[in-house]
Amino acid sequence: MAEAAAVPGGPLPHARESAVRRLLGNPRVVLGGAVLLFFALAAVFAPLLAPHDPVEQDLMLQYIPPAWSDRAEPGYLFGTDNLGRDILSRLLYGAQIALFVAVAAAAAAGLLGTVLGLLAGYLGGWVDAVISRLVEVWMAFPAVLLSIVLVAVMGTGLHSVIIAIAVIDWTRFCRVVRAETMAQKQQDYVASAVTVGLGRMHILWREILPNVLPLLIVLFTLEMGIAVIVEAILSYVNLSLASDFPTWGTMIADGRKYVNQAPWLMILPILCVIALVLALNALGDGLKDALDPVMRK
């Protein structure tokens, strides 16, 4: 990987080709990617696919069980909830929110953690000492409690959820990127770049960063899984979005309240969260195997 990226203009064509083949040959990448694609399509086409308005209430249609029950109504495949809202439609729009938060929060946490990790790993000295100490103090906080307090402070809303996840989880990126940067710094291509007389920042952003990128993709995928869970948690304690907005966490929270009358309210949103999280984990682990040159040997 290091040799390939040191060539100006990026990896050679045959290297790129074999990387694609390696990815497609990994069952975890294929399976995780397929499930992720399924949810992404559901999210993108939610307005077309949803049979009903996800927030429309109709008290005449309360607690319709799903299609496999004998009291089911046609047109409501997965039934309705305590306010007569269509569960399938809510799940589809919920996928939009889950994936949006996952991508945005993982990107924000990744950006913050990567910049600090690169600087700490490459510059060393007091910069490294300050950043590493900060990471240690940060990780001493109970994450769930901190996220709940943060959102309570910032007020509910998607932006608060995204900021809270970024503020808490940048440490994951920072620690790994710092260690990887320190390892890359020892490589020959960095020594060559220094000899050629390239600036420190140039070496960091243009030489080292591209070599840390495969690792970042893996971390990003795993962080998306964490973000999906945190969003569900915050929705569950009613701190993510207004409760009539269809998020999986809100649906789970409603389901928990009425679990004795209507257990199906909870089953599908929980299964969606688990399926998406398992898919992202599998994809991340598979990518790690496929992209990591050390693991490949």
Partner 1 sequence: MSWSFLLRRLLLAIPTLFGVAAIVFVLLRVVPGDPIAMLIGPGATDADIAELRRLYGLDESIALQFVYYLQDLAGGNFGTSISMRQDVMELVLGRLPVTIELCLVAMSVAIALGGAMALAGAYWRGRAGEAAVDGAAGFVLAIPDFLWALLFVLFVVVFALDGLPISGRIGHDVGFRGATGFLLIESLVRLRFDAFGSVLLHTVLPAFALALPLAAIIARVLKASIAEAMTQDYVLMARVKGFSRARIVCREALRNALVPTVTLTGVQFTFLVGGTVLVEKIFSYPGIGNMAIDAVINRDLPLIQGLVLTFAVLFIAVNLLVDMSYALLNPRMRHG
- Which residues lie near partner 1 (CB under 8 A)? 137, 140-145, 148-150, 152-153, 155, 229, 232-233, 236-239, 252, 256, 259-260, 263, 266-267, 270, 273-274, 277-278, 281
Identify the residue whose tokens are 């109970």: 142
Residue with tokens 């993709």: 217
User: Closest distance between partner 1 and the C-beta of residue 270, in Å?
Assistant: 6
Nearer to partner 1, 198 or 270 (CB): 270
Q: How far is the CB of 155 from partner 1 (least distance, A)?
A: 6
Alpha helical stretches, state H, 7-76: 13-24, 27-44, 46-49
Beta bridge partners of 80: 86
Q: CB-wise, 46 or 273, nearer to partner 1?
A: 273
CB nearer partner 1, residue 206 or residue 256: 256
Report the alpha-carbon distance of residue 259 to residue 263 in Å, rounded.
5
Shortest spacing between CB 272 and partner 1, in angstroms: 11
Minimum Å gap between C-beta 72 and partner 1 is 17
Min. distance of Cβ 112 from partner 1 in angstroms?
17
Cα-based distances in Å from 43 to 47, 48, 165, 267: 8, 10, 21, 19
H-state helical runs in 25-124: 27-44, 46-49, 87-123
Nearer CB in complex with partner 1: 59/137? 137
The secondary structure of residue 64, as a DSSP letter, is P
Six-digit token string for 233: 């948690």
